[in-house]
Structure 1
Amino acid sequence: MVVKKKDHPSLDIVSSKGVELSGKKIVLCVAGSVAAYKAIELARLLMRHGADVKCVASNAVTKLIQPDYFKWATGNEVITKLTGELEHIKLADYKQSDLVIVYPATANTLGKLANGIDDTPVSTVLTVGFGSKIPILMCLAMHESMYDNLAVKKNIKFLKNKIQFLSPQMVEGKAKAPEPEDVLDVVLRKFGFTSILKNKKVLMTAGPTLEYIDPVRVITNLSSGKTGVLLASELISAGSKVTIVYGPGNEKPPKGAKIINVKTSKEMFDATKNELKKKFDVVIMAAAASDYTPENVSKSKIKSDKKSLIIRLKKAPKIIDLVRKFQKDALLVGFKAESNISKSALIKSAQKRLKDVGANIMIANDIGTKYQKNPDYNQILIIDNKKIVSSGLKKKEKIVKLIRKEIEKKLK
């Protein structure tokens, strides 16, 4: 009697999200970085879209993550050393695999590939893959000072047109590994599967505005512009052509976008109105523009010896009210912020705004006391005419991915 070998239970997830990578053999090289734990998520994402994933782990990684964890994740044996089985040849010789991903990629791994050093399983697999011209996708992760090192820059420059790099996220003085979802997007595009957002023209507002009381004093909103900037980055990575009308936020706007810098709500209103005369596929109103502005602005600094001061404010025009006058068919995404109210009240407020401005999607959140404790996290409601989707409490990097997915669904 012949007993058929049972497939590994982890393979049950293969193609559960799509078949775009069906039949593709992907080698996942995991170098010695604390970001290595994210490689598990990446492997599972690739599998869910049909890929067969085999991991090669460096010695440094095995001190952080047990090899059995990678075997559990992929259903395949993990390469941690090279033997007489010639694992590096089986994985990376001519036409043995379709893609090699280095995630995370350290400065050490980068340097070894650039200089032909192959003294570890990861570096040897890369040397073979480089020679056999298997596409290599390198996702760098290191401290910012290492990323700025001239030797590292030299190695990147040498490899730039020979392999593909996925830029790290510059956060907290570190060049952090890209999110697994971002790597998946790149891989899908590499094999010909593009986002519906590719080449779509997107207009965004983001950041706060400043309303001058006198030449040195202002009224403003507590907004860093982070959500808008992160969302713009998401859309750019999906191939969109993004224009941002950007108030004085703390976040650096993404490369690849057309940036129109403004300060006041009037400047933002005028700049947006001017841009709306062009044709856009998607318009996103993510700015925290001031609702009120001083009636009279003092031309000189107001003396500080006054015991009290009365400042009269007037209503500033709502920028989102402009959109449908110029863009009848664009997908309109609005943002509705409230503070310290119930969920039902927040929903009611967002639904009213959705209807009043003719938006397709309204992003609602409570920016009250809980939000202010840790503004790197958010909890949003994505509301349209048919449903309400709650994100749960997540980092803003995850929040913008949810918003992007809802936009993609609407465009389809």
Structure 2
Amino acid sequence: MRLKGVRVGFVVTGSHCTIQEILREIEKIVAEGADVFPVVSYSVSTTDTRFGKASDWCNRLQEITKKAVIKTIAEAEPIGPGKSFDVLVVAPCTGNTLAKLANGITDTPALMAIKAHLRNQRPVVIAVSTNDGLGLNAKNIATLLNAKNIYMVPFGQDNPFAKPNSLVAHMEKIIDTVCLALEGKQIQPVLVEYKNN
């Protein structure tokens, strides 16, 4: 068990089409022995979409982690002074969250969790999922790639011809990225092509 005893904060933001896949990755992290604490953005906690209901996502997170889901800024703020987590994962991380994080905006539970965790100089692992990663958000990804204590899950263009600006992390690499981030290392390569199966 590679993460035995590790306290992992896990922030889920509103790339709703990716959440089901992320739940499977959280199950793997729990199976590796980690103590996982879920945090959700307002979008995840309040928005029903064709991909699922907000209440169902939150219930599944609680079932998998056996922890209450952090849903408000007030609930997320004590993460900093309490030094609650050894590592914080943001997956999926939307373009909206990327942009706000890169520009120091803290107006959701997700962003407060990240800000609070970073104050302790501890690693944040980001798994991007955005349709504008090579568009307006490219500069924000570049900013975060050069920021202290930020580590990126390898990502690539998931659909370069239909959605040429879209970037999505290889979610199956989250655990490998976390293990290296805990050692202060960025997994390589960061840019990994999506191949058609």
TM-score, length basis structure 2: 0.79
Task: State the AA in 2 paired with 1:175.
Answer: L
1:113 to 77, 93, 101: 101
**Does 2:160 correspond to 1:175?**
no
- Higher share of residues assigned strand: 1
Q: Secondary structure of 1:147's match?
A: coil
Is the alpha carbon distance of 1:159 and 1:171 closer, same or farther for their aligned partners in structure 2, counting shifts above 3 Å? Answer: closer
Aligned to 2:9: 27
Task: State the AA in 2 paired with 1:155.
Answer: N
Is the alpha carbon distance of 1:24 and 1:176 closer, same or farther for their aligned partners in structure 2, counting shifts above 3 Å? Answer: same
User: Following TM superposition, by how much is the alpha carbon of 1:185 offset from its aligned partner in structure 2, in angstroms?
Assistant: 1.6
1:154 to 136, 139, 151: 139
**Does 2:153 correspond to 1:166?**
yes
Count the aligned residue pairs.
177
- Deviation string 1:76-128 (CA, Å, 9 cap, x unpaired) is 10011234xxx324334463210011000111101111111111100111121
Is contact 2:151-2:181 (8 Å) kept? Answer: no
What is the root-mean-square deviation of aligned Cα atoms in Å? 2.6
Is contact 1:27-1:91 (8 Å) kept? Answer: no
Q: Which fold has the larger relative contact order, with Cα–Cα distance below 8 Å and residues 6 or more apart in sequence?
A: 2
User: Following TM superposition, by how much is the alpha carbon of 1:38 offset from its aligned partner in structure 2, in angstroms?
Assistant: 1.9
- Deviation string 1:323-357 (CA, Å, 9 cap, x unpaired) is xxxxxxxxxxxxxxxxxxxxxxxxxxxxxxxxxxx
Aligned to 1:138: 126
**Does 2:31 correspond to 1:39?**
no
1:52 to 35, 49, 55: 35
**Does 2:58 correspond to 1:75?**
no
Is contact 2:151-2:177 (8 Å) kept? Answer: no
Task: State the AA in 1 paired with 2:7.
Answer: K
Q: For 1:95 and 1:60, how far apart are their aligned partners in 2?
A: 26
Q: Secondary structure of 1:96's match?
A: coil
Structure 1 segments unaligned to the other structure (5+ residues)? 1-17, 193-235, 238-253, 256-375, 377-395, 397-412
Is the alpha carbon distance of 1:132 and 1:191 closer, same or farther for their aligned partners in structure 2, counting shifts above 3 Å? Answer: closer
Q: Tell me which structure has the larger Cα radius of gyration.
A: 1
Is contact 1:169-1:175 (8 Å) kept? Answer: yes
Aligned to 2:112: 124
Is contact 1:94-1:132 (8 Å) kept? Answer: no
- Deviation string 1:149-172 (CA, Å, 9 cap, x unpaired) is 24x222222222321112323122
Q: Secondary structure of 1:139's match?
A: strand
Task: State the AA in 2 paired with 1:40.
Answer: L
Task: State the AA in 2 paired with 1:117.
Answer: I
Percentage identity across paired residues of the two chains = 27
Aligned to 1:4: none
Is contact 1:32-1:61 (8 Å) kept? Answer: yes
Q: For 2:32 and 2:72, how far apart are their aligned partners in 1?
A: 28
TM-score, length basis structure 1: 0.40
Q: For 1:106 and 1:37, how far apart are their aligned partners in 2?
A: 15
Is the alpha carbon distance of 1:93 and 1:149 closer, same or farther for their aligned partners in structure 2, counting shifts above 3 Å? Answer: farther
**Does 2:90 correspond to 1:97?**
no
Is contact 1:94-1:133 (8 Å) kept? Answer: no
Q: For 2:11 and 2:151, how far apart are their aligned partners in 1?
A: 15
Q: Secondary structure of 1:141's match?
A: strand
Is the alpha carbon distance of 1:164 and 1:190 closer, same or farther for their aligned partners in structure 2, counting shifts above 3 Å? Answer: closer
1:286-365 alignment, distance < 5 Å: none
Task: State the AA in 1 paired with 2:143.
Answer: F
Q: Secondary structure of 1:97's match?
A: coil
